[in-house]
Amino acid sequence: MLDETADSLPELTPGEETRRQFLTKVGLGACVMTGLGAALTVADYLEPKVLFEPPTSFRAGNVADFPEGTVRFNQEQKVYIVGGAAGVFAMSAVCTHLGCITRPVSGEGGIACPCHGSKFDLEGNVTHGPAPHPLPWLEVKADAAGNLTVDTSVVIPHGKALKV
């Protein structure tokens, strides 16, 4: 601290401080608060609040189109719609390894990724690495007439097929 020793300065008892020391602390504190506020403002600014991304839900035909054993690959939405034993379910086609788009393998009755050789069964479970997680299941809803809507942004637990 700037300590100008003048004879007229009163002796400080321990715990006391000069006005200058106190004001220096206040000033530095204000600078720190300003810096923190500026940093938070910038961080908040860099996080987009409105996204102009394509809608995540799409219509996927009628439940009658998916008898047990059908697998439809919707290439545009990167989603499989599967008629399973327990009902219809939708599953992301994006490989959980690094995000390549998987393909159904004709003949073997499974799903494979062209990038690093991951393989999945028709439930989305990993049968061959390097994929670390199974393919996520996505929310499917049906209206009264049985028309299906899939929302790719809502992940549901495995096994929750849509019973009709």
Partner 1 sequence: MSSFQLSALGALIRNSAVYRSIIRHGVANTNRNRSLVVFENLFLHVHPVKVREKTLKFSHTYWLGGITLVASFVLIVTGIFLMFYYHPSVPQAYRDMKELMFVVDNGVFYRNMHRWAAHLMVFGALLHMLRVFYHRAYKPPRQFNWVVGVILLLVTLLLSYTGYLLPWDQLAFWGVSVGTNMAKEAPLVGKPLRFLMLGGNIVSENALLRFYVLHCVVLPTVLLLFLSVHIWRIRKDGGVQGPPEKDASDEVEP
Q: Is 53 in the site for partner 1 (CB under 8 A)?
A: yes
**Nearest of 21, 29, 22 to residue 2 by alpha carbon:** 21
Q: Is 28 in the site for partner 1 (CB under 8 A)?
A: no
* Span 136-155, contacts to partner 1 by CB under 8 A: 153
The DSSP annotation for 114-162 comes to TTT--EE-TT--EEESS--SPPPEEEEEE-TT-EEEEEEEEEE-TT--B
- Count interface residues toward partner 1 (CB under 8 A): 10
Comparison of 100 and 126: residue with beta carbon closer to partner 1 = 100
Residue 56, φ and ψ in degrees, nearest 5: -90, -15
* Span 82-111, contacts to partner 1 by CB under 8 A: 98-100
Output the smallest distance, CB 53 to partner 1, in A: 6
Q: Could you tell me which stretch among 11-19, 41-49, 103-111, 137-145 binds partner 1 (CB under 8 A)? A: 41-49
In 3-state terms, what secondary structure has residue 8?
coil
Work out which of 10, 14, 48, 157 binds partner 1, going by CB under 8 A: 48
The CA distance from 67 to 83, in Å, is 5
Work out which of 2, 6, 46, 85 binds partner 1, going by CB under 8 A: 46
Say how many C-beta atoms besides its own lie within 10 A of residue 73's C-beta: 16
Q: Could you tell me which stretch among 2-10, 13-21, 42-50, 63-71 binds partner 1 (CB under 8 A)? A: 42-50
With contact defined as beta carbons under 8 Å apart, do 139 and 150 qualify? yes
Per DSSP, 64 falls in state G
Rule CB under 8 A: which residues touch partner 1? 46-48, 51-53, 98-100, 153
